[in-house]
Structure 1
């Protein structure tokens, strides 16, 4: 759609909506105005030369390259972590003030041992590469998510892609076989400890970590894992720091990656990766219902 047509449609929509809402309370008119502000804001980010402020973020391929070539840990921030920072609870984790404080601190990106991942598509969206349902989600939600995350970013620092762990359920027209094989280089022939909830692991048929030298599991609660943080942390510390720690515990994984890195461990917050690979190998549905089911599964 051309910019001229976009603004023409936008103006027509605004006239129709304002006429329909002419007699309702002023509060709703303010909400409508904010909606159009968000639409314009999102459009500016979708324009390659839009005059907007963007943090430095490596894309998903550059992020994986860095993970292969370095021994750094990674902590990834998505909409769930942003909600916690903003004082909200999410499905798998109740709001916790200390957790929110730790997440804000990690997002400032001051630990040289940890790569901090944020969503590349919040700031450099390529709508043509995203699945239509995902593109719709980003267009609706990205303005608010950016506003809530921006105050805590270190604008002089390098960030990485947070979504590299779930490309199958986000992107289209990709060579997923090649991409997943590239990812598997990170833990190839290494001793691995997977920290996740048992409910997730029990659903997996195709294990992306099957090329590791040795794989152990440490099971944690599928909800409110942060309430058991000390217990989880001590359990991980029973393993050698030569073990690669794979974390799949929502917001709790970010704090674990930060703390473990300071103790000489390499800890990778890989979130949805295990189920993303499994769903790809199974050829699972990626329409609206499929993506909704995917996002509702344990992390």
Structure 2
């Protein structure tokens, strides 16, 4: 029997949780805001955010790399620095604290992550702070409640962040946030800087300087993996409003597609999908997308 079929049984899951409890012993309970609370804080305080997921945490450890981002000492050092941020205009977001909202496979995945990595990463995460939730940009596919009512409420709240804002998107070559959907239709204006699809951290200084140049007096949305996690923090220190939004567009597309699992999306690279649709942008959206690009940064 596959693990997914086994996890359809609440009894199996609870039994597994009991049998593995000692592996999570000692992992702290962090104060993590709910999804709504995190969004409201961003809106009311114009707070910048850096999100930590499993990939970012793995990169804080030696000898680890992601498919789209190599590791290394500099990446490790900077990610640990962000975790300890005391910048008042900046909020670190963690994936812990609200596991009960997830479906069983997602709960299993994150508890298994804690079994393996929890005690390795906890020394880097201060206990005394209050954190936002990483799932501000992953609000659909892993949750037990995928109802239209819930998602529309979240999306409506998210849209208030960039309502009537001049927006600058910093994204990988095949991310294409907002292309073919209405997620950012209420923004005052939208421009984008296109970055390398892999190892964007190698171009960090060039991307950072370009973002400061084009992002003055704008809301900056970054979808650039661990590079975005670090850069949102650095931009906040410069007095800019920057949000590491990651998969927010993919999650919205999955909702519109009524997906029940991670699946390919036409015109996007979806690194978590088992298959890949065409990366060609549908013709009806291409001209608007190309006009929004103010700069393209090539891989070094």
TM-score, L = length of structure 1: 0.78
Larger radius of gyration: 1
Which runs of no fewer than 5 residues in structure 1 stay unpaired?
A: 11-35, 45-50
- 1:32 matched residue in structure 2: none
Distance 1:81 1:52 in 2: 18
- 8 Å CA contact 1:284–1:290 kept in 2: the answer is no
Q: After the TM superposition, which residues 153-192 of structure 1 pair with which residues of structure 2 at under 5 Å, given as runs?
A: 153-173=125-145, 174=147, 175-192=150-167
Q: 1:114 & 1:238 partners in 2: Cα distance?
A: 20
d(CA) in 1 for partners of 2:36 and 2:209? Answer: 33
Q: CA deviation at 1:282?
A: 2.0
Comparing 78-87 with 194-203, which one deviates more in the overlay?
Answer: 194-203
Give the aligned CA root-mean-square deviation in angstroms.
2.7
Counterpart CA distance in 1 for 2:44 and 2:120 is 32
Q: For 2:31, which of 29, 36, 56 is the aligned residue?
A: 56
CA contact (8 A) 2:50 2:243 kept: yes
For the residue of structure 2 that corresponds to 1:259, the secondary structure is helix
Of Structure 1 and Structure 2, the greater helix share is in: 1
CA distance in 1, matches of 2:132, 2:174: 29
Change (3 A) 1:124 1:177: closer
Conserved in 1, the CA contact under 8 Å of 2:52 and 2:134?
A: yes
Tell me the distance in 2 between the aligned counterparts of 1:251 and 1:40.
Answer: 30
Structure 1 runs of 4+ off > 4 angstroms?
none
Report what 2:246 is aligned to: 271
Q: Note closer, same or farther for the CA distance 1:275–1:290 as it changes in structure 2 (3 Å cut).
A: closer
2:209 corresponds to 1:234: yes
- TM-score, with length taken from structure 2: 0.78
For 1:268 and 1:79, the matched residues in 2 are separated by 18
Aligned residue pair count: 257
- 1:290 CA drift (Å): 7.3
The alpha carbon displacement at 1:163 in A equals 1.2
SS in 2 for 1:256: helix
Unaligned runs of at least 5 residues, structure 2 = 1-9, 280-300
